């Protein structure tokens, strides 16, 4: 009997939702390691943690933010993730704050049993991001894990359909998205989690999976709405999670099924694109 | 006192949802004229009717379909719409089947008080469309009405984020979308109207309005799920409608507000695009 999930293409994945405490990097790091460890123990091969999971999000100034930034790789957060993944059979993606010389980036890192693998720098900067961080300059890199090809984006990036489309055109199976989804009264509230539905649409129109790990809690008057989710062509596969509770969402993904991308017997989500009318890769300059 | 809606940028719009009877073009035409007339009487300046509203959708063959096709303009359906709009202060967009020589198209027409204005031919063909119709060859044309700049798409077109993005980049305020949203168990059902949410996302990420007029009923085993909707940056402004009832949805749109496209004090949905990483207009060849 074959009990290896990789062989039958079912891969367990998870997202962890919690409340990072602003500026308490050591405490947050311990919490991330704890939750990611729990997800690994549940059999998850790929776990996603929120945006800026180790630092919190609403800083007062670039100087205020900068004291929590670290070099990537080599800094304490990446080291903690390396330790969490060592000897495990899984990979973790987490948001953190990166420093590179005097520049700061809103970054997501990918770490596995072999250690640090790569990073993505948020390309579309939301609100306060614009005050503190440089626009991401690494494009949309893809990484081949043993069980799936993945890409990363961060929060507001998902609002730009170009991002998921560009990843789809690079044959990405799973987009890992650390987020800090803000509550906007009348637009994005936990009772109607707009951000989760936007992610769902991006997954559905591209026929790929998206793992959105959101945070909860309030910082300096800004509330984050949880509603983490795991989405694919068929809609919500996990979540949306609660708006205010610490949670681990886990589900099995069929990677091979995801590659089929058929919405009807004759409708292929990518092959049906009218590339005679618009560019194959939206003019991606990566 | 200014009572002219155009001057304050509030424009009433409507979508009409009903069940076209397969092949009964005269009956359907009368129904469309009746519903569009009611919407005009309610003050709507722009009314959208479903895809193939005058013919129905599930034909047995191209020959079966062709008997219901008409030249555009000049055919009976466009003439009926011209009559409906004559002397009124409004415009109507409706789906119909177009013949051009021996070619058939799944087409949407725009008709106003001045008569026939223009057409759009469905560019992304869904399922049976591929058997009967040619892929649309008119690109994504835009039309300036007295109160707004509009574009058209048809049903499955909305699944391609390129379409709404290309319209947004042409400064379109409202996308009019006649649809025949099929029910797909587990994916698109009236209780969770996936197609409506996909439309909502396309409206939200582009900061434009989208008027989706769906049909109801079952033809040759294919069920259509209603759930017509009027969507914008702030989400559902009308609907989703029921899954199985004839309905007129009407609401006022603030066209000037739609042009602001700000999601936060510093986040502009179009200006935030990273056109250094991907093409300004997704390589639109229109």
CA-nearest residue of chain B to A186? B234
In a domain, A270, yes or no: no
**pLDDT tens column, A6-27:** 446 899 999 999 999 999 999 9
A to B CB pairs, distance under 8 Å: 138
Confidence of residue B7 (pLDDT cuts 50, 70, 90): very low
In a domain, A184, yes or no: yes
Judged by CB atoms closer than 8 Å, whether chains meet at B283 and A286 is answered as: no
Give the tokens for residue A213.
Answer: 């790990």
Q: Is the pLDDT of residue B286 over 90?
A: no
CA-nearest residue of chain B to A265? B127
Tell me the nearest-neighbour CA distance from A4 into chain B, angstroms.
28
Assess contact for A29 and A227: CB atoms under 8 A: no
Tell me the nearest-neighbour CA distance from A182 into chain B, angstroms.
11
Mean pLDDT of B43-72: 97
CA-nearest residue of chain B to A262? B127
Q: CB count, 10 Å around CB of A175?
A: 29
Query: Helix, strand or coil for residue A109?
Result: strand
Mean pLDDT of B34-41: 98
CA-nearest residue of chain A to B198? A201
Closest CA to A76 of A58, A106, A96, A51: A96
State how beta strands A91-100 and A103-112 pair. Answer: antiparallel
Q: Cα separation of A80 and A98, whole Å?
A: 15
Assess contact for B236 and B200: CB atoms under 8 A: yes
In a domain, B21, yes or no: yes
In a domain, B265, yes or no: no
Q: Which residues of A are catalytic?
A: 51, 122, 155
**pLDDT tens column, A43-65:** 999 999 999 999 999 999 999 99
In a domain, A264, yes or no: no
Tell me the nearest-neighbour CA distance from B202 into chain A, angstroms.
8
Q: What is the DSSP letter of A124?
A: S
Confidence of residue B8 (pLDDT cuts 50, 70, 90): low
Q: Is the pLDDT of residue A159 over 50?
A: yes
**What residues in B contact A278, CB-CB < 8 Å?**
162, 166, 281-285
**What residues in B contact A130, CB-CB < 8 Å?**
266
Q: Is the pLDDT of residue A135 over 70?
A: yes
**What residues in B contact A200, CB-CB < 8 Å?**
197, 201
Query: With the C-alpha atoms ordered A256, A258, A261, A262, is the resulting torsion angle positive or negative?
Result: positive
Closest CA to A179 of A236, A237, A220, A240: A240
Q: Is the pLDDT of residue A3 over 60?
A: no
**pLDDT tens column, B115-159:** 999 999 999 999 999 999 999 999 999 999 999 999 999 999 999
Distances (CA, A) of A219 to A178, A193, B249: 17, 19, 40
In a domain, B20, yes or no: yes
Q: Is the pLDDT of residue A4 over 50?
A: no
Q: Is the pLDDT of residue A5 over 60?
A: no
Q: Is the pLDDT of residue B85 over 70?
A: yes
Q: Is the pLDDT of residue A131 over 80?
A: yes
Tell me the nearest-neighbour CA distance from A104 into chain B, angstroms.
18
**pLDDT tens column, B193-235:** 999 999 999 999 999 999 999 999 999 999 999 999 999 999 9
Mean pLDDT of A173-179: 98
Mean pLDDT of B5-27: 89
pLDDT score for A244: 98
Judged by CB atoms closer than 8 Å, whether chains meet at A140 and B277 is answered as: yes
Judged by CB atoms closer than 8 Å, whether chains meet at B161 and A165 is answered as: yes
| Residue B155 falls in the annotated catalytic set | yes
Assess contact for A13 and A43: CB atoms under 8 A: no
Nearest 5°: the CA angle B135, B217, B131 is 25
Interface test with B, best of A162, A183, A229, A237 (most B CBs within 10 A): A162
Range of the domain at A183: 4-258
**CB burial of residue B2 (10 Å; 0-12, 13-18, 19+):** exposed
**What residues in A contact B135, CB-CB < 8 Å?**
274
**pLDDT tens column, A70-114:** 999 999 999 999 999 999 999 999 999 999 999 999 999 999 999
Q: Cα separation of B84 and A93, whole Å?
A: 58
Confidence of residue A165 (pLDDT cuts 50, 70, 90): very high
Query: Helix, strand or coil for residue A180?
Result: coil
Residues near B247 by Cβ (< 8 Å), separated by ≥ 6? B16, B17, B18, B226, B228, B241
Tell me the nearest-neighbour CA distance from B112 into chain A, angstroms.
28
List the catalytic residue out of B122, B153, B176, B212.
Answer: B122
CA-nearest residue of chain B to A235? B187
Distances (CA, A) of B147 to A42, B89, B91, B150, B250: 57, 11, 11, 10, 16
pLDDT score for A8: 65
Query: Residue B205: which of A198, A264, A272 has the nearest Cβ?
Result: A198
Judged by CB atoms closer than 8 Å, whether chains meet at A276 and B285 is answered as: yes
In a domain, B281, yes or no: no
Tell me the nearest-neighbour CA distance from A116 into chain B, angstroms.
25
Query: Residue A204: which of B130, B198, B205 has the nearest Cβ?
Result: B198
Q: Is the pLDDT of residue A1 over 60?
A: no
Q: Cα separation of A230 and A242, whole Å?
A: 13
**CB burial of residue B138 (10 Å; 0-12, 13-18, 19+):** middle
**Which residue would you say has higher pLDDT here, B286 or B14?**
B14
In a domain, B106, yes or no: yes
Judged by CB atoms closer than 8 Å, whether chains meet at A277 and B285 is answered as: yes
Q: Is the pLDDT of residue B178 over 80?
A: yes
Q: Is the pLDDT of residue A281 over 50?
A: yes
List the catalytic residue out of B19, B51, B70, B247.
Answer: B51
If one counts the domains in chain B, the total is 1
Q: Residue-wise over A61-73: b if at least 16 C-beta within 10 A, else e?
A: eeeebeebbbebb
Query: Residue A282: which of B124, B156, B278 has the nearest Cβ?
Result: B278
**pLDDT tens column, B88-116:** 999 999 999 999 999 999 999 999 999 99
**What residues in B contact A268, CB-CB < 8 Å?**
none
pLDDT score for A55: 98
**What residues in A contact B202, CB-CB < 8 Å?**
161, 201
Mean pLDDT of B250-256: 97
We report the CATH number of the domain holding residue A252 as: 3.60.110.10
**What residues in B contact A106, CB-CB < 8 Å?**
none
Strand partners of residue B215 = B18
């Amino acid at each position: 009997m074959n009990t290896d999930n990789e062989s039958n293409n079912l891969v367990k994945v998870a997202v962890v939702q919690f409340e990072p405490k602003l500026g308490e990097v050591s405490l947050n790091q311990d919490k991330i390691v704890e939750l990611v460890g729990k997800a690994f123990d549940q059999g998850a091969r790929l776990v996603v943690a929120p945006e800026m999971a180790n630092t919190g999000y609403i800083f007062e100034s670039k100087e205020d933010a900068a004291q929590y930034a670290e070099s990537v790789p080599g800094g304490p957060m990446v080291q903690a993730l390396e330790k969490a993944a060592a000897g495990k059979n899984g990979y973790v993606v987490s948001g953190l704050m990166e420093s590179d010389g005097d520049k700061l980036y809103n970054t997501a890192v990918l770490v596995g049993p072999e250690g640090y693998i790569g990073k993505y720098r948020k390309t579309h900067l939301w609100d306060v991001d614009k005050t503190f961080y440089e626009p991401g300059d690494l494009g949309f890199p893809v990484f081949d894990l043993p069980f799936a090809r993945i890409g990363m984006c961060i929060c507001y990036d998902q609002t730009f359909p170009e991002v998921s489309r560009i990843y789809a055109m690079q044959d990405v199976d799973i987009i890992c998205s650390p987020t800090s989804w803000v509550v906007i009264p009348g637009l994005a509230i936990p009772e109607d989690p707009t951000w989760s539905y936007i992610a769902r649409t991006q997954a559905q129109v591209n026929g790929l999976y998206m793992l959105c790990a959101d945070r909860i809690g309030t910082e300096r008057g800004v509330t984050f709405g949880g509603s983490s989710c795991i989405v694919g062509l068929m809609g919500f596969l996990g979540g949306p999670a609660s708006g205010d509770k610490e949670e681990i969402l886990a589900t099995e993904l069929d990677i091979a099924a995801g590659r089929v991308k058929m919405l009807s017997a004759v409708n292929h989500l990518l092959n049906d694109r009218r590339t005679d009318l618009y560019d194959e890769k939206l003019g991606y300059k990566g």
